[in-house]
Structure 1
Amino acid sequence: MTQRNLSIRALWHVACTLALCCSAAHAQQGPKHGIAMYGEPALPPDFVSLPYANPDAPTGGRIIFGEVGGFDSLNPHILKGNAPWGVQANVFEGLMGRSYDEPFTLYGLLAATIETGPNREWVEFTLRPEARFSDGSPVTVDDVIWSHTILGTEGHPRFHAAWQKVDTIEQTGPSSLRITFNSPDRELPLIMGLRPIFQKAQWGGRDFAASSMIPPIATGPYVIDKADPGRSLVLSRNPDYWGRDLPFAQGQYNLDEIRYEYFADSGVMFEAFKAGEITSFREGDAARWDEGYDFGAVASGEIVKAEIPHERPTGISGLVFNTRSPVFSDWRVRDALLHAFNYTFIAQTQTGGADPRIPSFFGNSVLAMGDGPAEGPVRALLEPFEDSLVPGALDAYALPAGDGTARNRKGIRTAVQQLEAAGWTPQDGVMRNQNGTPLTFEILLRQGSAQEQAIVNIFTEALGRLGISPKITTIDNAQYVERTNVYDFDMAFYRRALSLSPGNEQILYWGSDGVTEPGSRNWMGMDSPAAEAMIDTMLNARSSDEFTSAVRALDRVLTTGRYVIPLWYSAASRLAFRKELHYPDRLPLYGDWSGFQPDVWWWEE
């Protein structure tokens, strides 16, 4: 960790605390141009552009991304089907837009102003009169109310939890609406500001929840030009985009075309990039970044390599245990497999050990659980749940790393001890319980990831020394989405990006409703009163210190619960791209994150 990173984190923490002391205890008075989770927005009402955008950037050109897999739907806001991320990110807009230079601050987009009650028990939005859908029709209050209602009732389950906290949603004027809440939750006004807005008329007589390839009519800067499932998606910049003159849009949406090419696997995709079929590539393999970019276009300068630092949490990436499966319901079995997973050896073989291991879900940030035992307010938050917590939650805990050798003898010995404590013993070379049932499970893999397959191969070799023989099933992207949506797996690769402003989405990630409700992000099936209590404390925190303590406590519950075998992370994104593509010198706090590429990039010969 560099001194610069430490300084940025410290300044951010102090800034949040000072802003809170000045204004958190006071109600927002009257309509405003923006809203922050704590304190006031950093940008004034007359700001010129977002600080990390270049308002003088030229327009034109295109960017071509590569994606593994395919898609069979163009509605990314429902459970059915597999929709491309680019539609959600570039075609739809909300009432408010997010600045990725602040932990959680929104500025007016479709809405000109936002106003909240003294305790944020309601929020009122006033629409901009110039707001238009891509077909030129005006955005009405009726469109907004319908969008919120349909998403909360028939949309993807990720929208349901917040909708259940809505008491009423009603029109209050020709261009204004108010949403009143039935539960205390200071984040709700911001969440409602980010909901995508649909054109109600387009959906008359149609089943919103049904998967469809009909291009949605929305308000964003791009429209769907061509969609060829399994092959490509082309988004074109709308020359009549209603918001092109807004300060929020200055320096954004500069490229005329955003194209996504789909490939069967990541290896083929990288070769396509080398051949010039892709113009920007995010590299997740540190070893290949150091050794695999010696092809001609890099040597000639046609391809530029850049590392984009960020200040966001590590999130979690690794093999997730589905605790709905009886074999993984006992934390000691999960702990045993964590010890059997020879991390140091695997990292060395896959990435040369260049990147550090994910230490916890919110690692690399001020929200991380940190080293040592829980202390102070974090401990006070967790102690009422001590009897239900897994060992390590209140004490010092660190992930087992392995000894760096292929055999990992110490890790295997510890794994055997934990399995025996859980009632599993080796019998004739096979790990069995007292009924003689062998310990086995299925590892679900998505086609196209050679690295994931290689990791699982090394892992299964280690499990073989324990007398455990898992079944490995490799399926295509559509089947993978379908099975994971209904939690039909024992173990799978799992990735969750986490931000500096965790909130209601944490209920979708870790809430007990997700144990049975399909489509949640709670793949591990965790049912933890402690986790839900920490989330509730986060949502109602009145100070940054209280909020930070609650997230650190949640991080402890998640990490020590042994729900995931974590892999590695990078404190910077590795991007390789055509020399004609450019981005501003001023980087956002979140670095290479949603809202960075392609949003503030431009093409210049």
Structure 2
Amino acid sequence: MSFGKFSLALLLTVTLGWSAEAAPVRAVALHGKPLFSDNFTAFPYVNPNAPKGGKLTLGVLGSYENVNPLIVGGTPASGIREFVIEGLMARSLDEPFTLYGLLAETIDIADDHKSVTFAINPAARFSDGQPVTAEDVLNSFQLLKDKGRPNHRTYFAKVTKAEKIGDRSVRFTFEDASDRELPFILGLMPVFAAHATTPEKFEAASMTPLVGSGPYTVSKIDAGRSIIYQRNPDYWGKDLAVNRGRFNFDEIRFDYYRDASSMFEAFKAGNIDLRLEEDPGRWATGYNIPAVRDGRIIKAEFDIGLPAGMTALVFNTRRPIFADPMVRHALMMLFDFEWCNRTLYNGLYKRTESYFERSYLASTGHPADAYEQKLLAPYPDAVRPEIMAGTYRFPQTDGSGQDRPTQRAAFALLKKAGMVLKDGRMINGKTGQPLSFEILANSNAQEALLLSYARSLAPLGIQARVRVVDSAQYQARLTEFDYDMIPNTWASSLSPGNEQLFRWSAKTVNAKGSFNYAGVSNPAADAMIDAMLAAKTEPDFISSVRALDRVLLSGDYVVPLFYTPKLWAPYWSRLKHPEKTPVFGYSVDTYGNWISTWWSATK
């Protein structure tokens, strides 16, 4: 498949916002230009000659109750979105945000950025052989907008008109041109067959999968226990450049486990082919087994160019107990990273100090530039001075687990917030309510960390209770925001955009199923997200992201934890992978894309 030359007019429109005559193109970048155009035959992080065949088995912690990942109801099965349902365009994992043609053969962003038009590839077919039409795209859009997850509802609410243009094109018109990422979000929109669903069927949690156009179909469902995907030999897009060297296994199976220990034992026994290791203690000592020593298991570390994101203990600020940011800041100070890292994690973690940690998007260590200061000027109290100056660092302890200076500083802040220590308990001086809360988790693997944090609060009369529940109950409580504190990871990319609305916008604070777990409702955060989405140049984009980072850090919405400097992914040697790891590496959002580049050595 050969792509036409990238339109200079479109490049100027996308990067600089100039008024120019746009034209349909087969690749488009949010900032800059696509890496691949005329001579594009395959992504550099694949083996275009990878053999087809064999089976891949992966492990998942928990269970599932639904095979439609596009709705709020029920915990969805893994793999549907990655392997069954395609988007209009495909994302490159080696570029911040670049899209290449898939279901849509071309994309045409209007010169005023108030609309985008996609031309459907005439070869595109669903797994049942029916062609993918403009009507399918419009039906998918409408169902996602009306009945989908809050992220799609939030994004697509900005579209004022969706219409068919000609025989095989669709056009989306926007209320304004302020969100320059929106055409790209629409480019990633999942498309499913209109003839195989109805609005009623779509929004009902069920074990009947949507009919998609992807390289795999669901071949077997063992509800809550496993799900198996079979490669479609008639997959319409197998020869496209974006797919060459990918989707190599004939069968992909996800097996579900109730706890992390049993899943690890299944891997050691050879019942799971590949795992992402997140436990430094296990990484340091748990793989001293014969299969590693004799080379049957490869204990691999992969580089990654993505931001580490934010892994944290999250305050539910909807709860009155966490309404005061001074109380939250004091609780954040009492997390003893040095002790936890040394005692629990063999010193292998690094402290997270930014929502965009491990990247140039992080505000840490950078004073706010002139553009940031301009953006933040209407919100003079939104960012603490030391965070604005880039000099703030998270508290460091002596690693003893009983750091007295930190405890004294936290106690002073609690007193300033109106808390008093009475009969060994920290209470609100006015209401008498004790500073006591529950930390909700869904894995025993998190228990040691959470209990150590609870112990660090006890000397100040603060009671934190740790409660571990099953995945179904955990997901239900997350959806309803029914918790005091939870551990969570918000993954990040080099092109943060509309997903930030889903995490931090006041519009999603009460939207069931949103990822605004902290209950952030902050006009400054909303304004920084708007600025980020409207940025026309890369410097303005970086500055607006850093400004958002400063606002979130100043709000003390979470207790930041830590991150790994590399990806730990042990696998059985019966698997092979390309020599090059993409910039995105192995992340929550790209797992299916990354694993699709591997292949079986024993097919």
SS at 2:567 equivalent: strand
Aligned to 1:173: 166
Aligned to 1:38: 31
Q: Which amino acid aligns with 2:418?
A: G
Q: Which amino acid aligns with 2:539?
A: D
Q: Which amino acid aligns with 1:225?
A: S
Aligned to 2:437: 441
| Contact 1:444–1:473 (CA under 8 A) maintained in structure 2 | yes
Aligned to 2:95: 102
1:433-582 maps to which residues of 2 (within 5 A)? 433-434=428-429, 435-446=431-442, 448-450=443-445, 452-582=446-576
Aligned to 2:16: 24
Aligned to 1:399: 394
Aligned to 2:6: none
Aligned to 1:5: none
Aligned to 2:5: none
Distance 1:220 1:98 in 2: 15
After TM superposition, the score normalised by the length of structure 1 is 0.94
After TM superposition, the score normalised by the length of structure 2 is 0.94
SS at 2:328 equivalent: helix
Seen in structure 2, the aligned counterparts of structure 1 residues 42 and 479 have a Cα distance that, compared at 3 Å, is same
Q: Which amino acid aligns with 1:109?
A: L
| Contact 2:82–2:593 (CA under 8 A) maintained in structure 1 | no
Seen in structure 2, the aligned counterparts of structure 1 residues 463 and 142 have a Cα distance that, compared at 3 Å, is same
SS at 1:282 equivalent: coil
Matched, 1:152 2:163: no
* Residue of 38, 50, 62 corresponding to 1:69: 62
* Residue of 400, 403, 406 corresponding to 1:411: 406
Matched, 1:292 2:289: no
Larger mean Cα displacement after TM superposition, 112-121 or 370-379: 370-379
* Residue of 84, 89, 93 corresponding to 1:91: 84
Larger mean Cα displacement after TM superposition, 291-300 or 422-431: 291-300
Shift of 1:29: 2.7
Aligned to 2:422: 427
Aligned to 1:247: 241
Aligned to 1:163: 156
Matched, 1:597 2:590: no
Q: Which amino acid aligns with 1:508?
A: F
Seen in structure 2, the aligned counterparts of structure 1 residues 205 and 454 have a Cα distance that, compared at 3 Å, is closer
* Residue of 54, 75, 78 corresponding to 2:71: 78
Distance 1:218 1:46 in 2: 29
Deviations 1:435-493, CA, capped at 9 Å, x for gaps: 322111121111x332x111111111121111111233221101111111111111011
SS at 1:283 equivalent: coil
Larger mean Cα displacement after TM superposition, 516-525 or 435-444: 435-444
Distance 1:299 1:20 in 2: 55
* Residue of 105, 108, 111 corresponding to 2:104: 111
Seen in structure 2, the aligned counterparts of structure 1 residues 515 and 206 have a Cα distance that, compared at 3 Å, is closer
Aligned to 1:8: none
| Contact 1:20–1:38 (CA under 8 A) maintained in structure 2 | no
Deviations 1:393-440, CA, capped at 9 Å, x for gaps: 424322123320021212211111111011101011111112322111
Matched, 1:53 2:46: yes
Shift of 1:229: 2.2
Deviations 1:316-357, CA, capped at 9 Å, x for gaps: 112100111111111111111111111111121221121211
SS at 1:560 equivalent: helix
| Contact 1:119–1:186 (CA under 8 A) maintained in structure 2 | no
Q: Which amino acid aligns with 1:189?
A: P
Shift of 1:45: 4.1
Q: Which amino acid aligns with 1:398?
A: R
Distance 2:366 2:91 in 1: 35
Shift of 1:363: 1.3
Shift of 1:372: 5.4
Larger mean Cα displacement after TM superposition, 69-78 or 259-268: 259-268
Root-mean-square deviation over aligned CA pairs: 1.7
Aligned to 1:352: 346
SS at 1:465 equivalent: helix
Seen in structure 2, the aligned counterparts of structure 1 residues 22 and 137 have a Cα distance that, compared at 3 Å, is closer
Distance 1:284 1:543 in 2: 36
| Contact 2:102–2:242 (CA under 8 A) maintained in structure 1 | yes
Seen in structure 2, the aligned counterparts of structure 1 residues 24 and 136 have a Cα distance that, compared at 3 Å, is same
Distance 2:463 2:45 in 1: 51
| Contact 1:28–1:115 (CA under 8 A) maintained in structure 2 | no
Shift of 1:560: 2.4
Seen in structure 2, the aligned counterparts of structure 1 residues 221 and 412 have a Cα distance that, compared at 3 Å, is same
Deviations 1:63-101, CA, capped at 9 Å, x for gaps: 111111000000000000110231111111011000011
Distance 1:330 1:574 in 2: 38
| Contact 2:14–2:29 (CA under 8 A) maintained in structure 1 | no
Seen in structure 2, the aligned counterparts of structure 1 residues 340 and 202 have a Cα distance that, compared at 3 Å, is same
Q: Which amino acid aligns with 2:56?
A: I
| Contact 2:451–2:466 (CA under 8 A) maintained in structure 1 | no
| Contact 2:383–2:551 (CA under 8 A) maintained in structure 1 | yes
Shift of 1:267: 1.2
| Contact 1:117–1:123 (CA under 8 A) maintained in structure 2 | yes
Distance 2:23 2:137 in 1: 21
Shift of 1:205: 6.7
Distance 1:339 1:22 in 2: 43
* Residue of 339, 352, 368 corresponding to 2:362: 368
Deviations 1:107-141, CA, capped at 9 Å, x for gaps: 01001111110132111111111101111111111
Distance 1:183 1:23 in 2: 17
Aligned to 1:10: none
Seen in structure 2, the aligned counterparts of structure 1 residues 28 and 488 have a Cα distance that, compared at 3 Å, is farther
Q: Among all aligned residue pairs of Structure 1 and Structure 2, give the percentage whose two residues are the same amino acid.
A: 42
1:221-370 maps to which residues of 2 (within 5 A)? 221-370=215-364
Aligned to 1:586: 580
Larger mean Cα displacement after TM superposition, 387-396 or 509-518: 387-396
Q: Which amino acid aligns with 1:231?
A: R
Distance 2:199 2:109 in 1: 35
Shift of 1:381: 2.0
Distance 1:110 1:205 in 2: 23
Shift of 1:383: 2.6
SS at 1:84 equivalent: coil
Which structure 2 residue ranges, 5 or more long, are not aligned? 1-10
Seen in structure 2, the aligned counterparts of structure 1 residues 198 and 238 have a Cα distance that, compared at 3 Å, is same
Deviations 1:152-184, CA, capped at 9 Å, x for gaps: 111111101121110111111111111111122
Aligned to 2:123: 130
1:140-219 maps to which residues of 2 (within 5 A)? 140-184=133-177, 185-204=179-198, 206-219=200-213
Shift of 1:146: 0.4
| Contact 1:63–1:255 (CA under 8 A) maintained in structure 2 | yes
Distance 1:364 1:347 in 2: 18
